[in-house]
Amino acid sequence: MDAMKKKRGRRMYHLEAALEYLISILVAGSYLATLTKAIGLSDGLTGILSSVISLGCLFQLFSVALRPKRVKRTVVVLSVLNQLLFMLLYVIPQIRISAELKAVIFVVCIIGAYMLYYLAHPKKIAWMMSMVEEGHRGSFTANKEIISLISGMVFSFGMGAIIDRFEAVGNLRGAFILSGIVIFLLMVLHTLSMLLTPEAPGFDRPEKEHRRNLAGFLKNKNLLHVMVVFILYYVSTYVATPFYGTYQIGELGFSLTFVSILTILSSVVRVLVSRAWGRYADRHSFAFMIEKCLLLLAAGYVCTAVAVPSNGRVTFALYFIFHGIAQGGINSALTNMIFDYVPDGERSDSLAVCQAAAGSLGFAATLSVTPLVSFIQQSGNTVVGLPLYAQQVMSGIAFLLVIVAVIYVRLFLLNKNSAKSVK
């Protein structure tokens, strides 16, 4: 592929990632809660639905078995179908059918949408990252995240304000119609960005060769080490962060406005540091970068581990700062470490397996610690006689897991043998 086509591909990748991120905003968080409330889903069912969505990484295992003759065409078709289902979520509340049937259709649509998304995701990443030169993946990924984050903050603020106005005059139907139209327009632009991205040669490999690649997965020790880091990071995240929302609003007494300010603070910090992380990774390695990022994430968990009502605003502000700095490099490092240690034809399968394993174990971690959270709360927020909130304990566990991840990176990914990447 010539240099001009690759340059165009990189620009389209920046645009594609930003547009996809904007669509994801409209089907998550408070937007999702507004939809589920409108169709009559209980808070409990909404929580379960959100947990099921977090298992989406498991769907990537099906991507391993997907062997399209043309990767680009398959990714485009799956993405369009995925986004049409997302748009349909805003149509369902307006259909004149029973509430029970609405709920069933809604659940089927959202799970189907995420299944299609994760089916295409590994192959899309491998295809589009093939436009990026090996020595510049860190800087490129950082710039891509910066563009997505900034556009996301502006978009979220604008859409939130518009929808609030609709709700203030009792016109929720109008808000849903507008949101559906916005998703459709974003889908059209997103599809165009992919169509304008050049086809990547070398991805269409014979079935037997793919099976050999997958069979060789377990023989690639560096890749297995990366998967362990994936798992430790996901498990530490799912042990603690799912319980922070109720802690902030409940025991710590934060207003929703203050929580929004903290989220924006984290995004701004992440934007400011992403490019520096990218340059650092290009100069040294993604393994060195993730070690530093994990140490900063551990510092964030120390802050939440000591957070109580008297100091909660300060400690959680520090957590969001540390978390933002760490996130400026972690996601990029995890993906790019896989790209460091496997050749082109194996990258999408390797990414799918790593994320599927980490996502499923992370979800299992949430389920396993939930009884402990309930037990501590029912015990009057005491542990062996010490006054501790359940979320403080979870933060302590997350801290220990992150430290284990740091030690693992140091022992198995920063030695002289595993620091070499596949060219």
Predicted local distance difference test score (pLDDT) of residue 423: 45
Residue 29 pLDDT: 63
Provide the token pair at 55.
Answer: 């298992």
Nearest to 349 by CA among 122, 116, 184, 84: 122
Using DSSP, state whether 343 is helix, strand or coil.
coil
Helices (H) and strands (E) in the chain, counts: 16, 2
Q: Are 270 and 324 in contact (CB under 8 A)?
A: yes
* pLDDT tens series, the chain, 423 aa: 678 888 899 999 999 999 999 999 888 766 777 788 888 876 546 655 666 666 666 777 777 767 777 889 999 999 999 999 999 999 999 998 888 899 899 989 998 998 899 888 888 988 898 888 877 888 888 889 889 989 988 888 788 888 878 888 989 899 899 999 999 999 999 999 999 999 866 554 544 455 555 556 667 888 899 999 999 999 999 888 888 877 887 889 887 568 778 888 888 999 899 989 989 998 989 999 999 999 999 999 999 999 999 999 999 999 999 999 999 999 889 989 988 888 766 777 788 788 888 888 988 888 888 889 889 988 888 887 788 999 999 999 999 999 999 999 999 998 644 444 554
Residue of 232, 208, 235, 225 lying closest to 340 (CA atoms) = 225
Cα 194 from Cα 72, distance rounded (Å): 8
Backbone angles phi, psi at 386, to 5 degrees: -95, 140
Q: Give Cβ neighbours of residue 263 (< 8 Å, ≥ 6 apart).
A: 320
Q: Which residue has the tokens 């934007």?
A: 271
CB 140 within 8 A of CB 77: no
CA distance 384 to 305: 17
Q: How far is Cα 352 from Cα 347, in angstroms, rounded to an integer?
A: 9
Pair type for strands 382-383 and 386-387: antiparallel
Neighbour-count burial for 98-123, b at 16+ CB within 10 Å, e otherwise: eeeebbebbbebbbebbbbbbbbbbb
- Alpha carbon distances (Å) from 260 to 78, 246, 255, 340, 395: 33, 14, 9, 36, 21
* CA nearest neighbour of 347 among 233, 200, 135, 235: 200
**152: which residues sit within 8 A by CB, 6+ positions away?**
18, 21, 22, 25, 267
pLDDT of residue 360: 85
Report how far residue 5's alpha carbon sits from residue 3's, in angstroms, rounded to the nearest whole number: 6
Rg (CA), the chain: 22
pLDDT at 155: 87
Question: Are 82 and 120 within 8 A, CB to CB?
Answer: yes
